Every structure is written in structure tokens, then in C-alpha cells.
Amino acid sequence: MKTLNIGLVGSGFMGKSHSMAYNLLPQVFDPLPAYPRLRILGDITEDLAKKGAKNFGFEDYAVGFEEVVNHPDVDIIDITAPNHAHKEIAVAAAKAGKHIYCEKPLAVTLEDAKAMLDAAEAAGVKTLVGFNYLKTPATLYAKQLIDEGKLGDIWHFRGYFHQDILADPNLPFSWRFEKKIAGSGALGDLGAHIIAIAQNLVSDIDKVSALTKTFIKERPQASGGTGYSSTADLNAPKKTVENDDAVHMLTRFKNGATGTIESSRITQGRKVYLAYEINGSNGSIRFEHERMNELKVYFSDDPEGTKGFRTIITGAEHPFYGSFWPVAGCGLGFGDMKTIEIYQLLDAVANGKDLKPDFRDGYKVSQVIEAALKSAEEERWVEVASV
Amino acid sequence: MKTLNIGLVGSGFMGKSHSMAYNLLPQVFDPLPAYPRLRILGDITEDLAKKGAKNFGFEDYAVGFEEVVNHPDVDIIDITAPNHAHKEIAVAAAKAGKHIYCEKPLAVTLEDAKAMLDAAEAAGVKTLVGFNYLKTPATLYAKQLIDEGKLGDIWHFRGYFHQDILADPNLPFSWRFEKKIAGSGALGDLGAHIIAIAQNLVSDIDKVSALTKTFIKERPQASGGTGYSSTADLNAPKKTVENDDAVHMLTRFKNGATGTIESSRITQGRKVYLAYEINGSNGSIRFEHERMNELKVYFSDDPEGTKGFRTIITGAEHPFYGSFWPVAGCGLGFGDMKTIEIYQLLDAVANGKDLKPDFRDGYKVSQVIEAALKSAEEERWVEVASV
Amino acid sequence: MKTLNIGLVGSGFMGKSHSMAYNLLPQVFDPLPAYPRLRILGDITEDLAKKGAKNFGFEDYAVGFEEVVNHPDVDIIDITAPNHAHKEIAVAAAKAGKHIYCEKPLAVTLEDAKAMLDAAEAAGVKTLVGFNYLKTPATLYAKQLIDEGKLGDIWHFRGYFHQDILADPNLPFSWRFEKKIAGSGALGDLGAHIIAIAQNLVSDIDKVSALTKTFIKERPQASGGTGYSSTADLNAPKKTVENDDAVHMLTRFKNGATGTIESSRITQGRKVYLAYEINGSNGSIRFEHERMNELKVYFSDDPEGTKGFRTIITGAEHPFYGSFWPVAGCGLGFGDMKTIEIYQLLDAVANGKDLKPDFRDGYKVSQVIEAALKSAEEERWVEVASV
Amino acid sequence: MKTLNIGLVGSGFMGKSHSMAYNLLPQVFDPLPAYPRLRILGDITEDLAKKGAKNFGFEDYAVGFEEVVNHPDVDIIDITAPNHAHKEIAVAAAKAGKHIYCEKPLAVTLEDAKAMLDAAEAAGVKTLVGFNYLKTPATLYAKQLIDEGKLGDIWHFRGYFHQDILADPNLPFSWRFEKKIAGSGALGDLGAHIIAIAQNLVSDIDKVSALTKTFIKERPQASGGTGYSSTADLNAPKKTVENDDAVHMLTRFKNGATGTIESSRITQGRKVYLAYEINGSNGSIRFEHERMNELKVYFSDDPEGTKGFRTIITGAEHPFYGSFWPVAGCGLGFGDMKTIEIYQLLDAVANGKDLKPDFRDGYKVSQVIEAALKSAEEERWVEVASV
């Protein structure tokens, strides 16, 4: 079996989840498309890099990304660094001829995303963007049903990604609220995922009319934290939030479907409410990530009297599930999506297969985000291709 | 106890449901605010009027609406005639000094709605528009929670009314698809309900950006039917559908909230999917009519660990339920909303109480519909007050 | 159209719900099998009888049941008097040659139930026991699916009826807790309903092993109330509860199925949790009354990948729903079950049709209750036929 | 940090899931209580052992269990061999002074379970039985709520473990249907899990009345397979199934609670329907493994009007979740329960902490199973302590 050497940049939350997946792969898949060798991990300080390499099982570590990207053994560069650093790393990786696996969003600005796409396509390397929510057995199966025409023509898409993680106005200001570092707010962080799903399951998006709003206009300053959990000193001076707490978007799809896409980081009660409903001429599909092992499907040609949304519990008859467990209902978790994602990455690199969503798909997501921001600012419909 | 004499115009589906409610009132409410006497029923033919009066328990019948509207005994005119006839009947009723209970939508055109409002306000009569979905114990309680501030500031509203009742392209052309008679399609027929709920629970709507689409562009002609159930001769000539199968709308509310309102008459799998979710700074509420005896509520100040949407099963501690049954979970049905609606009507007329939603509220719904149609046609945001 | 004259005994909660149904019938069903004329209502005091007759729409009233039972006009005696009075009234009604519609349970003791059955069969009158939960479109359709063999052989039945209505130990002592008046507790009051469903949907029950327990052993005395809502003086002397708060039962059915039946009146959080699940060799069905307009059905011969419980929302393609509303999802309520029940009563009496569940079915329910009480007391399996 | 050396016996499905957990631990927990070193894996053939060691990341392999059990480095023996082999391995491990982690059920016979318990207690080693369903954040939190008295006195327990995995009568005969190898059927395989939960959350079980039945009395012979997926030659000779397809059980708990426990391997539509509901004097809890990231909780002292089951989505405020992901709703899967289980194992061994459920708990589960089998055979209540 071939071995593929991994160079990981970033040892935070996403670096951890990628590493979990690499370490699980050999137990889950038999046969493996290739054996992932955790060759080297880079982070911005020696402490972080060293600790990450030890905890995650990497052989070496490096300070910064350059040594990782240019390491002669390394086949695949895995980028989990902060979003605004994606471009520099990815372009360097492409130049070094490495395949690239980059966390979403592709970049903070559309220009950066374009530069990454161009560099990767020029280098002819494989690329993958970490829109992991596409990788549940449920959503992979939804795509299969749609592609087989089981829902007929697709008429409507409704997609959401709501969380209440930042609904508390006392949560301190952090990089998440800075335009320069984070780009947009709920739109880029959460909405990007559901835009990627919309594109993947329905078709490219043609034009959008969007509305964004920042409800919590300023937050107390704090010295650190991700903005999720630390509580700021409430008497601290306040800093202005620079990006959107919520976005609502009308969408026209290239295939003629119409719909809405929304996301909010201040929706009380919603945790990872990434959900979508797709209505076609012959049926409907609904998925909610908080119940990620279920897919609801309605077929309009079921016999009279027995029509109803089926709650399908994913199992061995759905994509990838059977590699984990033999029995439906055991249940996959968040980490398992990453394991599937990385299986596809290794399989594509080792066996020359197609890989989705690639940088082109990721760039299109960035285009939709850009179009939505423009639409919201100018209060008008914006064609995605125009940005 | 006072008696209020009812004159009903229209003996179709809604006439039936109103009559069921009048007949139930004395068994349900003790004491009654007033005793409803079913005085006279008018319909367009003698056969229909006579049969309606007999089945529904009216003392007299009349052909047409004039005799009903001008009947000296009658206190309240109840209009369940086709939508395009509302105006003429309501204006005549107002002139005759009668209180008016009119099915939704108030009228097919904004001009008609305005004429009705003006006539009623000039006459000083009580008015009520039959947005019955406002009358579930669940939604009445939702309003109470919001008014008491239990959700904090209201940030988001998401409302839907989806059905699959017209998703079959072989269903014949009917009046529902004609602009002149029906006005808009899914927007006016279904969306009106959810607009009324949005206004009632959140605030007036300031501006909208809407997208409408007719997916099934033509339908086979048929000689009769409501368009719901009869199957046309598939070789019959086709007629062009003149109004929207679906509408998606971005909304900005006067109170600062943002949201979406959608409705579709071709959404496979959805029956009476009138649903809304409201997110405030301190909690959220979700309701789905297909489970009309439940309200889901989330409070962000619940103790750590036990936060979660509560599934409240409506019972005697919620508005009006206890008049029907002593125990939560017995369950109310569609007809019971009308019974509550009519209780409020009699109570307002007999005791001079406020009545909501009145013609002014109904007119505002029509304004939102008009603004949405304009927005969709001109592909731009439209202020509701501007139409 | 034939008219059938109704004599109602009892004007409490169930008398009210029956009257609501009689009054609704002519609006709901077209054509009616017979027109129900509300001829006379009897109750134990003149005040109650007079008020009941007025509120419920009866022409006459009487003190006591004798005049009602022997009234020359009356075709059908409707018994909603307290359970311990059923026997005397029913036997008198049978002797008078009247058809009998009796609320459940048939009687407090098995002996009384037998006397009622014998009297009715000797008189050759139609009988109906008010196990109204059998009359939802969902459960009527479940029976149809089972009878058509869509679930294959029936292997398991699991039935529940749980409430929290008496879970508060401070609720005062009432007739419900007295063995002589109420008979058993949760078993007879709630369990009877689910036993009737088990018999109707699966088969007769062969033998049972039961466990009963009184968790709240004594309650404060109070001067009145039903025990549901009034709060006793907590310093009042306590009285010993004489019947079961909860029952759990293993059941062997005549057709070979195995299962459990449970009910409890002290189950926190459950309101009208009358629920059942039936598993057959080819599929399963689940119903929960708190969502009475839904039926969940699983077919094991659905194609691989799309197997899952369907949530069917009852509509015009299911029994009786279409008489109420044209569109699935509008929703029926508790009262509508009674309307369907009374439709079947009138149809059977007017047109000589079969009527289920009749006194024989009701007697079998009483036998199961008796067998369960014996089983619990003697801590052993008891054959139903042996009691 | 201390290192604990693991010796695994068995490389099948459960061996795989344990190995996944060992490999994940260092990425998930920071700090680790001890570092798990995968020292040696034993299986019955060299091929299996070698392949297992490679795929799962063990340094060495051995044929059979003796070398593993007696390996000088090994601290913990992890037994995932077939159930009937547990005793011999565990007793040898205890004699060698190793801590023991044994998959459920402890043994096939009560005698074997007793021998294992005695050997382990004599040796004074730590023991853990792999009832992994106890290890979800939801169930660990449920226990916490109960222990804190949040539900008041516990009155009812209802537990299920239903699957449809063997509902197809054409699935071939396998070791699962042989009494000598598998012991009981649904009872020991599935029911054991829910018995363990009942004991853990409520109290020890005092006495049971059980009913078992084999619905599919014979199955076609096949040369191999687990009985789950291979399809036998339908013309193959049939072999008699020797154990129960389903069990229903009444239970009396030592703390006074009453309830039912059921399991079935032929329940169409149910996948891993391990579910329980617990009703106390002040509240209720419900859990269903198919939605393992949710816990439903009802508190009777919530304010009037807002009482309802809360759907809690487990997150960082619940046991162990935060070690995996920072945000509620990401979701854990089946494997993550094992990771938590093994964390507790290492923590107990490294730091001398208590470990539950240990062999004594596992033995009690075996006693309940034995009592249930006896009860079913003799058709009478059986005290658990009497077997």
C-alpha cells in the first residue's frame, strides 16, 4: 500500500479534528487507499508546534509553515491555520507541487480565494476544501437520490446554519468580529457551509438578494479567547463589532430553483443547526445536523395513504457508514465526517480520482459570499458571476 | 344573555367551518358572551343557499348577499364568499351598520382592501379578519410570552406556509390560477396567514425584497372543481397559470428584527406547514401547525446543562384550551381555532372589547402582499408604506 | 332522512363532549346516516339537568335516568353517568328496547359488565362503548393496514396510557381513589383504552402477568372536586388511596403476539400519552395521541436505502378525515373522535350495520382488567378466560 | 505521564472499536490520565492476529490469549473475544494480576460470571465491563440529575433495546442462535445493556416476571457469517433457533420503582433503539440512542404554562463532551462512547479511582438475565437474589 505524507499547518481545534481522522483511518477503512503518515506539523510558536505534534502523532514539527510546505517527504499540505493565512500557505504549497487540503472558508477575501485557485490550477495539484458537512452519509445519500432523479426537478432549496454561540452580548470581542481577520461574520463562518451544500446538491447560484445585520453592535474587550467561552470584564471598554451577526438571502439557482439561505450566530437555542430542505417535483428531502444520522425523505409517488416523510437512519446501505459500524443507528459523530473527508482526499491523490469540493467549488462559495455582501450593502440583487 | 344574529354569506368550505363553530360555542363556553343565532344564510343560487341553511342550522336563506346584509335582525355579517366578492359585500354591510367578520384575505386588490377598511372605519363597526391560525392556544400563548418580554428583544422571524396541494402538474386549471379572481397565488392564499402572524407577534413590516415564481406554467383545462382534487383530462388544452406557485421574501421589521417569509403551494410532503420560528435576545419560539397543540420554547436563562427547547403541550393553563377540555394533550383541531375566533368576535361585539386582527390589520397584510409583488416584479426592495 | 332521538344520561365532561359531537354532525357529514334529535337529558339534580339541556341543546330534561330510558320517542340511550351507575341504566335501557351508547369503562366490576352484556344481547339492541381513541383516522387506518396484511404477522404490541394529572401528592382525595366507586385506578381509567386498542388491532388477549402499585398512598381530604385541579387543605386529614397509581402488564395474545401494556396517572410530563407500537414481520406502526393527526409506519419491503418510519399526516385518504376538512394537516381534535364515534353509532342503528367496540368487546376489556388485578394480587400469570 | 500497556484479545468488530478509541485518546484528552500503549493483540489464528495488530496499531501479536495475558509489559487485558471465551481469559488475566476490561455480557452463564467476579476480586484488580451505552454525555448527565435529586423519588423505569437486524427469517443460522455459545438471545445480547442502565440509573432490580419467545423458530444453515448480513441458500436445511427473539419483563426495583424492560432482535424499523424513560416524583427523563446527542428532561416545578420536555443537545456543560468538541450539536458517535469508557478505565487504573460498571455490576446484570430466563420458563416471578 502506498504511503502519503501529511504536512499539517495549524494545531488548533480543526488541526485536532483532522489529526483524529488521520489516526482513525487505518482502523476504519480496510483496505485503505493509502496509508497516511503524519510527517510534520507547523504552528506559529515552537511550544504550539511541539505540543501539537506530540498530541496528534506527528513525527516532526516546525515553527511557521515554510518548512512544512517545502518538506521533501510531504505529499499533502493540510491547512488549518487561521483563515486570513490560508492564501499565503496554499500558494506556497501549490508552488511546491503539493496537493492541498484547506479548511473552509477558502480565504477571507475573494481576491485571495482567486489567487489560491489560480495557483493550484496552474500547479495541477489536487485540492479539497474542508466543507465537512457535505460528508455525512445522509448528505452524500441525499446527493445520490437527487442525481438519480428520485426527487424530479429541484424547485426549492432552504438552507440554514444557526447557532447561539455568540448570542450573549457579554462575550468579549475577538478576532471573529474583525473584518480584516475574519472577513464576514455569520455569513462567511457559518453560511459558507450551507452555500457549499446548496451548490453541491442543487446547482450553482445565479443571483442573490441579501440582508445582513449586526445586532450586538459592540462587545467588551478582552485579552484573549476565541470569543466563545471566556467572559470579558463587563466594565472593560467596548469595541465595535465589524461584521454580520446574521444574514438572510434570497437565491436564484442556475437550474431554475429558488430558495433562501440564512445563517445567524445569535439564534438562541440553536447549536449546530445546519439544516436544509430541498423540494422537487417528485419529492422532498430534509436534513438537520443536530440529528446527523437521519435523513428525512418524501416521495410523492408512494401509494395513497402511506405518503409521509420517512425518517431514514443511516446505515451500511448509505455511503461510508458501513466502514465504521455494521449496524444502522450506532451513530457517527462530528469527527467521522472528517474521517470520510480525508478518506476521499487520500483516495483521490493515490488513485487519481476526482475530489469535491475542490478550490473551484470553494471559490464559487466565496463568490456567493461576496455577492451577498455587495447585495446587502447596496440593497439590490447581485449576480454571482459579476463579482 | 344577549343574542347576536348572524348573517352568513357563502356556504362553501369556510362557511361550513364557521357554522361548525357557531353550533359548538354554547357547548364549549360557559358563560357565553352572547348567544349566536344563525339567522340567515346567502349564497349565489337558491339550491346552495337552501342546502347550506339546512346543513348549517340557519333559520332562513336568501339568494345573493343583499338580503342578508340588510336584514333588520342581523347584527354581524360573516363573509365567506369568494375573495373577489369580499369588497362589495363588506362595503354594503358597513353601510348597513353591521359588524363584519370577513375571511382572509381581506380582498384581492389593495384598492378593494382600502375601500373595505375605509367603509368599516367610517361606519364605526367592529371588524375581524379570519386569520384563524392566530387563534391556537399555542400562538396566543406565544404572543403572551413575547409581550411579557420573556424572549427579550425580537431579532429574527422565520415564517412559512407550504403545501403540496397543487404540486401535481396534472391538476386542472381553476379560479385559483387566475389573477383577476384569486389575486396572487401562494403569496395571497397562504403567505397572507404567515404575514398576519409576523405582524401580530413581531411588529409591522417595514420593507421587503421578494422573489416569486410559477413553476408549473400551464395546466389542463377542466370544467369545474377547486383545482385541488379533480383530475383533468390530460389531453385537454392547456391554460396559462397567472400567479405565483411560490414566494420567498426578505423582511425588515419596524422593531428592528430581520427575517424571511415564504410560501409555496407545490412543496412536496408539506400539508399545512404553517410554521414560524422567532428568536429573541433571551429565547426562541417555534410552532408548526401540523402539530398545532405544541409550542416549542427555549429560554437562554435556564440553568446551564438543562437548556433546551421545551415541547409544551397546550392545556388549561394556555388561552382558551380549558374551555374545550380539562386535560392538556386531548388536543384541539382546525375547527376549534374558528370557535375561538368566533368567541372573540361575539365577546367584542357584545362587550365592546378590542378585536384583532381587524380590517386595519388585514389591510396591512394586503400592503405587504402588494409590496412583495412589486418587489418581485421590479427586483428591488420595496417599502410597505409606499404602496 | 331518518331521525334518531337521543336520550342522554349525565351532563358532565363526557356529556358535554357527546353533545358537541351531536351538534356538529349535520355540518360535518353530508349525507348524514340519520339526523340526531337531542330529545331529553337526565341528571341527578334538576339544576344540572336543566342547565345541561340548555347548554347542550336538548329539548327536555329529567331528574334521574328513568324518564330518559323509558321515554317513548327515544331511540338511543347515551350513558355518560359515573361508571358505577352504568349497569343500572344500561340494563334498564336494554329492557326498554333502546340502543345503548355507553362511556367506558363498561362497568366498575366484571359482574356488572356481564349483566350489561347479557341484558343487551337478550334485548337484541345495538351497543357501543365509548373507547373513542379507536376512532382517530390514524388508528382506523392502522387497523386497515393490519387487516390488509401490510405488516405481515403481528409479533409485538406495546401500549401505554400515561398522564401526570394525579402526580401531585397534594391533590385531594376524590371518588377516583375509591375502589367501590371507581374500581381500579390507572388500570381501569386509562389502561382500559389501551387494552381496547390492543384487542381491536391485534387480537384478544390470552393471559397476563401484571404488577400494580400505589405510589401516593394517602391524600388530603377535600369536600369536592374531581381530584384533578382543586387543591386540598394540606392540613386536612389524609385518606388512604384504594387503587393503583400505575400498572405494568405482560400480555400474550391469542394470535401469538407478545407485548406489554402499561398505564400510570402519575407519570410526570405525560399529558394524554396514549401511545402504541405494533411490530409485525413486514413492518411496524407507531401512534401517539399527543400527535393524534400522525401515524408512523415502517415497511420492511421498501427499497434498500429508503427504509424508515414514515410520518403520515392524516388526510382525506384516511377514514373519515375528509368529512371534516379537505386538506391533510388541518388537524382534528379530541372532539372530532367523538363525532366519528357517533356517526358510526347512527349509521349502525339507522342502517343495521355492525358497530365496534360493542358491549362484548367492552366486556372483554373488563375481563382483562379483572385478570390483571388478580395477577397483581396473586403475583402470577392469569388467563383472561378464567375470570 | 504514566504509560499503560494494553493487551487486546480479539480483533473483530469490538476489537476494532476499542482500538479506534485507544488511538483517539491522545488527541481527545488533554491532559491524558495515562498514555495507552498498544502492546500486543491476540486472536485465534496468526492471520487474524497479525492483520489486527497492523490495522489497529499494536506493536506485537500472538496466537491465542495466553501470551497476551501473561505478557510482562501488559497492565490491562482488554477482552473482546466471543462471549463464551470471556471466563477463561478473564480468570487467567486476574491470576496474572492484570486489570481487566471485558466486553459485555460478562459471560454466557451465571456460573462463568461468578467465577470471573471471584477471580478479579481475589486478585484485587480493577475491572470494567463494556456497557458502553452508559457512557454517552446524555446518560452520564441523566445519572447526575437523578443523583442530585432533580427528578425526586424515582417511580418508573421503562427500558428497551430493539433492533430489526434479525427480523428477516432468511438470515442464516449462526452462533448467535446457539444457546451454548451465545447464551440467551435478545435478552443477553441487547437486554443486558438496558438492564445495566436500569441498575445504574435507578437501583438494583429485586424481582422480575419475564416472557420470552422465539418467533422465527428455524433458520437456513449457512457456512459462515455473523447472521447479520449473509443470505443463506434458502434451500439449505433448516436449523432450530435455540434462544429468544424477544423478551418482555416486569421489574420491581429495590428502591420501590416499578417498570418494564424489553428487547427484541426482530422489531421492524428499529435499528439501535436503546431507549429509556424514567419518571420521578418531580420530573422525567427520556433518552433514545438513535438520537444519542439528545436528552429529554421534564421538570414538574417549571412555571405553569412553560412545562414541557426539554430537548437538551449535549455540549461542553455535560460530562466529557467538551473534550471532543467545543460546541454543542457537533455530535458524538458510537465510537466516542468507547473513547470515554477507555478514558475512565485509564483514569481508574492510573489514579486509583472507582470504575463503573465493574465485574460486580456485570454479575448483577447476569443475575437479572438468569432470573428472567427462569421466570419465563417457569411462568412466575423470580427474585434476582435467588438465582
User: DSSP string spanning D294-316?
Assistant: EEEEEETTSPTT---EEEEEP-T
Using CA atoms in the order C80, C85, C90, C96, what is the torsion angle rounded to 10 degrees?
Answer: -110
Q: Is the pLDDT of residue A226 over 60?
A: no
pLDDT at C134: 98
Residue B257 CA to its chain's centroid (Å): 23
Name the residue in chain C with its Cα closest to that of D155: C215
pLDDT at B224: 52
Task: Report in angstroms the alpha-carbon separations of C315 from A301, C294, C340, D330.
Answer: 16, 10, 14, 37
DSSP string, A38-69: EEEEEESSHHHHHHHHHHHT-SEEEESSHHHH
Over residues A327-353, mean pLDDT: 97
Task: Report in angstroms the alpha-carbon separations of D373 from B278, C251, D242, D245.
Answer: 53, 17, 13, 13
Say if residues D207 and D367 touch (Cβ distance below 8 Å): no
Say if residues B154 and B278 touch (Cβ distance below 8 Å): yes
- CA of D309 to nearest chain C CA: how many angstroms apart? 7
Instruction: Write down the H helix ranges in C96-222.
Output: 110-123, 137-147, 179-182, 186, 192-201
C88 touches chain B (CB under 8 A): no
How many beta-carbon contacts under 8 Å exist across A and B?
122
Task: Report in angstroms the alpha-carbon separations of A330 from A187, A312, B41, D106, D140.
Answer: 33, 13, 61, 21, 18
Q: Do B311 and D306 touch (CB under 8 A)?
A: no
Task: Report in angstroms the alpha-carbon separations of C160 from A105, B129, C246.
Answer: 50, 42, 11
Contacts of D303 (CB under 8 A, 6+ apart): none
ipTM over 0.85: yes
Q: What angle do CA B16, B17, B19 make, to 5 degrees?
A: 65
CATH 3.30.360.10 domain position(s) in chain D? 134-378
CATH 3.30.360.10 domain position(s) in chain A? 134-332+342-378
Q: Is the pLDDT of residue A196 over 80?
A: yes
Task: Report in angstroms the alpha-carbon separations of B59 from B5, B39, C21, D304.
Answer: 11, 5, 21, 44
Instruction: Write down the H helix ranges in D170-269.
Output: 179-182, 186, 192-201
Name the residue among B27, B292, B332 with its Cβ closest to that of C20.
B27
Query: Residues C196-205: pLDDT tens digits?
Result: 999 999 999 9
Q: Do C310 and A312 touch (CB under 8 A)?
A: no
pLDDT at D232: 56
The CATH H-level superfamily of D134-378 is Dihydrodipicolinate Reductase; domain 2 (3.30.360.10)
pLDDT at A232: 56
Query: Residues D43-78: pLDDT tens digits?
Result: 999 999 999 999 899 999 999 999 999 999 999 999
pLDDT at B233: 66
Pairing label, strands C154-162, C238-240: unpaired
Q: Which residues of C touch A321 (CB under 8 A)?
A: none
Name the residue in chain D with its Cα closest to that of A35: D55
Question: By C-alpha distance, which of C18, C62, C59 is closest to C44?
Answer: C62
pLDDT at A13: 87
pLDDT at B187: 97
Q: Which residues of A touch B209 (CB under 8 A)?
A: 209, 211, 250, 379
Quick check: helix, strand or coil at residue D323?
helix
A303 touches chain C (CB under 8 A): no
Over residues D208-233, mean pLDDT: 77
D158 touches chain C (CB under 8 A): yes
Question: By C-alpha distance, which of B116, B238, B112, B119 is closest to B180?
Answer: B112
Question: Average pLDDT of chain D?
Answer: 95
Q: CA B246 to CA B210: how far, in whole Å? A: 10
Indicate the residue type of D260: T
Name the residue in chain A with its Cα closest to that of B213: A258
Q: Is A256 left (phi over 0), alpha (psi -120 to 50) or beta?
A: left
The strand pairing partners of B285, in sequence order, are: B278, B297
Q: Which residues of B touch A269 (CB under 8 A)?
A: 279, 283-284, 298, 300, 307-309
Give the CA radius of gyration of chain C.
21
Q: Which of A22, A47, A161, A290 to mutate to test the interface with D (most CBs of D within 10 A)?
A: A290
- CA of A55 to nearest chain D CA: how many angstroms apart? 6
| Grid cell listed for B20 | 361548525
Query: Residues A43-57: pLDDT tens digits?
Result: 999 999 999 999 899
Say if residues A154 and A217 touch (Cβ distance below 8 Å): no
Instruction: Write down the H helix ranges in B12-65.
Output: 13-28, 46-56
Query: Residues A237-272: pLDDT tens digits?
Result: 999 999 999 999 999 999 999 999 999 999 999 999
CATH 3.30.360.10 domain position(s) in chain B? 134-333+353-378
Q: CA B56 to CA B23: how far, in whole Å? A: 8
For residue B169, the 8-state DSSP code is T
Q: Do C308 and A305 touch (CB under 8 A)?
A: no
A306 touches chain C (CB under 8 A): yes
Q: What angle do CA B273, B276, B277 make, to 5 degrees?
A: 140
Over residues C131-147, mean pLDDT: 98
Residue D242 CA to its chain's centroid (Å): 22
Q: How confident is the model at residue D231 (pLDDT cuts 50, 70, 90)?
A: low
Sign, CA dihedral C324-C327-C328-C333, equals negative
Q: Do C268 and D280 touch (CB under 8 A)?
A: yes
CATH number of the structural domain B134-333+353-378: 3.30.360.10
Say if residues A28 and D57 touch (Cβ distance below 8 Å): no
D169 touches chain C (CB under 8 A): yes
Q: Is C348 left (phi over 0), alpha (psi -120 to 50) or beta?
A: alpha
Question: By C-alpha distance, which of C215, C220, C213, C219 is closest to C184?
Answer: C213
Question: By C-alpha distance, which of A13, A2, A79 is closest to A52?
Answer: A13
D318 touches chain B (CB under 8 A): yes
Q: Do B312 and D306 touch (CB under 8 A)?
A: yes
Report the neighbours of D using a cutoff of 3 or more CB pairs below 8 angstroms: A, B, C
Q: Which residues of D touch B312 (CB under 8 A)?
A: 305-308
C269 touches chain D (CB under 8 A): yes
Say if residues A72 and A46 touch (Cβ distance below 8 Å): no
pLDDT at C303: 97
pLDDT at C229: 47
CB crowding B288-325: b at 16 or more within 10 Å, else e: bbbbbbbbbbbbbebeebbbbbbbbbbbbbbbbbbbbb
Query: Residues D183-205: pLDDT tens digits?
Result: 999 999 999 999 999 999 999 99
Over residues C26-34, mean pLDDT: 93
Q: Which of C334, C336, C338 to mutate to test the interface with B (most CBs of B within 10 A)?
A: C334
For residue B204, the 8-state DSSP code is -
pLDDT at C227: 47
Q: Which residues of A touch C311 (CB under 8 A)?
A: 308-311
Indicate the residue type of D185: G
Say if residues D293 and C277 touch (Cβ distance below 8 Å): no
pLDDT at B231: 53
How many beta-carbon contacts under 8 Å exist across B and D?
46
Say if residues B192 and B200 touch (Cβ distance below 8 Å): no
- CA of D150 to nearest chain B CA: how many angstroms apart? 11
The length of chain A is: 387
CATH number of the structural domain A3-125: 3.40.50.720
The CATH H-level superfamily of A134-332+342-378 is Dihydrodipicolinate Reductase; domain 2 (3.30.360.10)
CATH 3.40.50.720 domain position(s) in chain D? 3-125
Q: CA C207 to CA C252: how far, in whole Å? A: 5
Q: Is D174 exposed, middle or buried (0-12, 13-18, 19+ CB in 10 A)?
A: buried
Q: Is the pLDDT of residue D1 over 90?
A: no
Q: Which of C248, C278, C281, C301 to mutate to test the interface with D (most CBs of D within 10 A)?
A: C248
| Grid cell listed for B300 | 437562554
Query: Residues B75-116: pLDDT tens digits?
Result: 999 999 999 999 999 999 999 999 999 999 999 999 999 999
DSSP string, B281-303: TTEEEEEEGGGTTEEEEEETTS-
Residue D44 CA to its chain's centroid (Å): 23
Ranges in chain B, pLDDT < 70: 223-234
Q: CA A331 to CA A324: how far, in whole Å? A: 9
pLDDT at C88: 97
The strand pairing partners of A250, in sequence order, are: A209, A260
